[in-house]
Amino acid sequence: MSIEFTTCQYAVDALDRLVWVDRWWLAFAKENDAGGLAESTVVGRPLWEFISDPATRDVYKEIHRYVRTAGLALVVPFRCDSPSMERRISLTVSSDGSGHVLYESILVRARRHRVSLLDPRLPRSQSELRMCSFCKRVQTDAGRWIEFDELDEQFPEAASPPFPQLTYRVCEDCFAEMRTVCGGYVGLASDRDSR
């Protein structure tokens, strides 16, 4: 089932623990993770438990550092597709001065699609496919980042189960974008061996 939403909010405390999440965050997390989540089991847990890729965690940690020390809000373009919906989101991250960090996302564009590869409930093979956490493009063996539309041509194995396992990275373009929105402040570990 696809969840329609236009905004999503959550916040973390000075130690990056979730202090509250709204129902859309829970709905989205449920849609993208086969595990059951409820506000009572999420609040108090570090945000980092919900971000599996170390490089993606690093980006968010730098964003937290930036908004807390610079006191400025950041707007990050973001894509968070589900198996049935393409979603383009504008994510605003800000701090209230007490160390809390607030996330507010606004849905910029949505359209129906069918990308079974994104359905965590479907069987997986041992092979892996690298996906960017932010723009959701997939990396070819040659290092090129491609959109879902090109998947069938580049990765026939991604068209039917068992699907390759998705491992997350941050692509060069999204690293560059993050540097731009952070005004050059961000000292990202941009040359990780994972990229």
**List of residues contacting Zn ion (CB under 5 A):** 132, 134-135, 171, 174
User: Tokens representing 64?
Assistant: 């937290």
Q: How far is CA 121 from CA 34, 56, 73, 137, 174, in A?
A: 6, 23, 36, 21, 28
Please state the closest distance from residue 178 (CB atom) to Zn ion, in A: 10
- Cβ atoms of 53 and 89 closer than 8 Å: no
Please state the closest distance from residue 152 (CB atom) to Zn ion, in A: 20
SS3 51: coil
User: Tokens representing 87?
Assistant: 């979603």
Please state the closest distance from residue 147 (CB atom) to Zn ion, in A: 11
CB nearer to Zn ion: pick between 63 and 174 = 174
CB nearer to Zn ion: pick between 23 and 109 = 109
Beta bridge partners of 166: 129
Please state the closest distance from residue 136 (CB atom) to Zn ion, in A: 7
